[in-house]
C-alpha cells in the first residue's frame, strides 16, 4: 500500500522543521506542494522529484498527490506550518475516499501561531483563539462573529492572513470589532516572515495595531486583559503565584 505523508514543514527555516518531518521528506520519492513551499525545501532534499501547483489549486494539488501515489511512489504533500492548521490534511482526507487503497499519515509542524509567539515572548500561555481573516473560503459575517465572541470571552487572539492587496483594510475592521470588548491599550504584537530571511517583530497597543500595515506573511497577536509587556516582549500570565 502506498502512503502519502502530509507534512507540516514549519515556518520555513530547515532548523525549525521537526525530525519526523525531515525524515519523511528524506524517505519519500516525490515532494508535492505550493510553489513557494517547495522552493523552501528544495536545497535540503536534492534528488527528489518535485511537483507544484499555484495558489488556489489546492484540490488539483491533492489529486496530483493521490495519482502519483497510485503509481506506487511514496509521496510527501508539504504545507507551511502545521498540515492540520489551515493546511492540506483535511482536504486530503476528504478526497481520500476516491483512493481507499492509499494510506494517509499526517506529520505535524511548527505553525505560525507558536513560531511567532516564540519570537514575541510568551503571548499564548493562556487560552487563545486562532482566527483567519481570509474570507476566500469563510464568509466575513462568520469571521466577524468569531472575532466578537472571542474578544468578549477575553481570549488572546492570533490572526492569520490579516491583510493582502485586496483586503488592505481587514485588520482595521477586525480591530474595530475587537475594540468593542478589548481596551485600546491591550498589548499586541506582529511577526513577519517567521523563521525566514527578513524576520521582523514588534509590540504595540491595540489602538496602534488598528493603523498598522500587514500582509499575508504577517501573524498578528492580540492580548487578553492580563497580557503585559515584559523586557520588550509580549507575555500573557497564566496565573502562577510566585510572590
Query: Residue 51 phi/psi, 5° resolution?
Result: -125, 135
> Given this model, what pLDDT does residue 56 score?
84
Question: Which tens digit of pLDDT belongs to each residue from 193-227?
Answer: 998 889 999 999 999 999 999 999 999 999 999 99
Query: Quick check: is 49 in a domain?
Result: yes
> Given this model, what pLDDT does residue 48 score?
95
102-138: b or e for each residue (b if 16 or more CB lie within 10 Å)? bebebbbbbbbbbbbbbbbbbbbbbebbbbbbbbeee
pTM, to two decimals: 0.93
Same domain? 117 vs 205? yes
> Given this model, what pLDDT does residue 167 score?
86
> Given this model, what pLDDT does residue 206 score?
98
CATH number at residue 14: 3.40.1010.10
Cell numbers linked to 79: 504545507
Query: Quick check: is 22 in a domain?
Result: yes
How many Å apart are CA 239 and CA 233, to the nearest integer? 18
Query: Quick check: is 102 in a domain?
Result: yes
DSSP string, 154-174: T-EEEEES---STTTTHHHHH
Same domain? 205 vs 119? yes
Grid cell 462568520 in the structure block, residue: 142
Q: How many domains does the chain have?
A: 2
> Given this model, what pLDDT does residue 197 score?
87
> Given this model, what pLDDT does residue 116 score?
96
Same domain? 35 vs 62? yes
> Given this model, what pLDDT does residue 84 score?
96
Return the percent helix, strand and coil in the chain, to nearest 5: 35, 25, 40
Task: State how far Cα 71 lies from the chain centre.
Answer: 31
Residue ranges in the chain modelled with pLDDT below 70: 243
Query: Quick check: is 241 in a domain?
Result: no
> Given this model, what pLDDT does residue 185 score?
98
How would you classify the pairing of strands 218-222 and 187-192?
antiparallel
Full domain range(s) for residue 146: 113-235
> Given this model, what pLDDT does residue 165 score?
82
Q: Which residues contact 22 (CB under 8 A, 6 or more apart)?
A: 14, 44
User: How large is the angle between the packed helices 170-178 and 140-152, nearest 10 degrees?
Assistant: 40
> Given this model, what pLDDT does residue 55 score?
84
Amino acid at each position: 500500500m502506498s502512503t502519502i505523508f502530509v507534512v507540516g514543514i514549519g515556518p520555513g527555516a530547515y532548523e525549525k522543521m521537526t525530525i519526523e518531518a525531515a525524515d519523511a521528506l528524506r524517505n519519500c520519492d516525490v515532494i508535492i506542494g505550493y510553489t513557494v513551499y517547495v522552493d523552501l525545501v528544495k536545497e535540503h532534499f536534492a534528488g527528489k522529484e518535485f511537483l507544484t501547483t499555484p495558489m488556489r489549486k489546492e484540490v488539483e494539488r491533492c489529486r496530483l498527490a493521490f495519482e502519483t501515489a497510485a503509481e506506487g511512489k511514496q509521496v510527501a504533500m508539504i504545507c507551511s506550518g502545521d498540515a492540520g492548521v489551515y493546511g492540506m490534511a483535511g482536504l486530503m482526507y476528504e478526497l481520500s475516499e476516491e483512493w481507499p487503497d492509499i494510506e494517509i499519515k499526517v506529520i505535524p509542524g511548527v505553525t505560525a501561531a507558536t513560531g511567532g509567539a516564540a519570537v514575541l515572548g510568551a503571548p499564548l500561555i493562556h487560552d487563545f483563539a486562532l482566527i483567519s481573516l481570509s474570507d476566500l473560503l469563510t464568509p466575513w459575517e462568520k469571521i466577524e462573529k468569531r472575532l466578537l465572541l472571542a474578544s468578549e470571552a477575553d481570549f488572546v487572539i492570533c490572526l492569520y492572513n490579516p491583510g493582502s492587496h485586496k483586503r488592505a483594510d481587514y485588520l482595521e475592521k477586525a480591530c474595530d470589532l475587537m475594540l468593542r470588548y478589548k481596551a485600546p491599550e491591550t498589548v499586541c504584537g506582529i511577526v513577519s516572515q517567521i523563521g525566514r530571511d527578513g524576520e521582523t517583530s514588534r509590540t504595540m497597543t491595540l489602538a496602534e495595531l488598528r493603523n498598522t500595515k500587514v500582509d499575508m506573511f504577517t501573524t498578528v497577536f492580540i492580548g487578553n486583559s492580563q497580557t503585559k509587556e515584559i523586557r520588550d516582549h509580549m507575555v500573557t500570565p497564566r496565573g502562577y503565584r510566585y510572590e
